[in-house]
Amino acid sequence: MQLRACLLIAFVNVACLNIEKDSSSLRDIFSDVAPMRMNKSVESVKKDPSSFVELLADVAPMRMNQSVELLKKDPSSFVELFASANPDVINQVIGLLETLVSEADSSLITLTDRVTETSNNAATANNELVAAQDALTAANTAKSDAENAETAAKEKHDTAKAEKDAAQNDYDDQSPTYLEEKRVLQEVIEKLRPLSDYTTNCVKITTGSNSYNDGEISVKMQVNSGAITELLHQQWFKLTSVVFERCLGDQFRNLVIQNSDSNCWSGTMEFKKDKIDEYRSMICSDCSEGTGPTNMFAVDGNSDGDYLGKVFCGDGKQCNVFPGYSTEQGLCRQNAVYGGYCRCPSVLSPEDCYAKSIGWSFVAVQYRFSNKLCALLQLLHTPPTECPQNCLAYAGNGGDVTKYNGDGDLDNICMLPQ
For 217, 312, 313, the CA distances from 319, given in Å and listed in that order, are: 12, 9, 6
For 31, 77, 83, 383, the CA distances from 7, given in Å and listed in that order, are: 19, 14, 15, 137
C-alpha span between 369 and 329 (Å, rounded): 12
Q: Are 361 and 341 in contact (CB under 8 A)?
A: no
Q: Bridge partners of 344?
A: 374
Q: What is the DSSP string of 326-376?
A: EEEES-EEBTTB---EEEE-----HHHHHHTTTTS--SEEEEETTTTEEEE
| 181-196 exposure pattern, b = at least 16 Cβ within 10 A, e = fewer | eeeeeeeeeeeeeeee
Per mean pLDDT, which range of 46-50, 188-192, 299-303 is the poorest? 46-50
Q: Report the pLDDT value the prediction gives residue 3, as an integer from 0 to 100.
A: 43
- For residues 326, 331, 335, 341, the Cα torsion angle rounded to the nearest 10 degrees is 90
Residue 30 pLDDT exceeds 50: no
DSSP code at position 418: -
Q: Report the pLDDT value the prediction gives residue 325, as an integer from 0 to 100.
A: 86
* pLDDT tens column, 270-293: 998 888 888 989 999 889 999 999
Helix (H, G, I), strand (E, B) or coil at 313: strand
Edge-to-edge strand order for the sheet containing 364-368? Answer: 325-329, 412-417, 364-368, 373-377, 341-344, 392-394
C-alpha span between 418 and 416 (Å, rounded): 6
* pLDDT tens column, 259-271: 999 999 999 999 9
Average pLDDT over residues 241-249: 93
* pLDDT tens column, 92-133: 888 888 888 899 899 999 999 999 999 999 999 999 999 999
| 305 burial type by CB count under 10 A (0-12 exposed, 13-18 middle, 19+ buried) | buried
C-alpha span between 215 and 309 (Å, rounded): 13
Residues 6+ apart with CB under 8 A from 255: 203, 219, 220, 221, 222, 231, 269, 282, 320, 321, 322
Q: Report the pLDDT value the prediction gives residue 28, as an integer from 0 to 100.
A: 46
For 199, 247, 256, 308, the CA distances from 266, given in Å and listed in that order, are: 27, 22, 15, 6
* pLDDT tens column, 136-162: 999 999 999 999 999 999 999 999 999
| 10-20 exposure pattern, b = at least 16 Cβ within 10 A, e = fewer | bbbbbbbebbe
Q: Are 241 and 207 in contact (CB under 8 A)?
A: yes
User: Which of 27, 86, 82 has its CA nearest to residue 59?
Assistant: 27
Q: Report the pLDDT value the prediction gives residue 191, as an integer from 0 to 100.
A: 63
Q: Where do the domains of the chain lie, and which CATH numbers do they carry? A: 2-85 (no CATH), 197-323 (2.60.60), 326-417 (no CATH)
| 400 burial type by CB count under 10 A (0-12 exposed, 13-18 middle, 19+ buried) | middle
Crossing angle between the packed helical segments 52-73 and 2-21, to the nearest 10 degrees: 120
* pLDDT tens column, 154-187: 999 999 999 999 999 999 999 999 889 888 887 7
* Dihedral of alpha carbons 86, 87, 89, 90, sign: positive
Residue 46 pLDDT exceeds 90: no
Average pLDDT, rounded, for the chain: 83
The pTM of the full predicted model, rounded to 2 decimals, is: 0.47
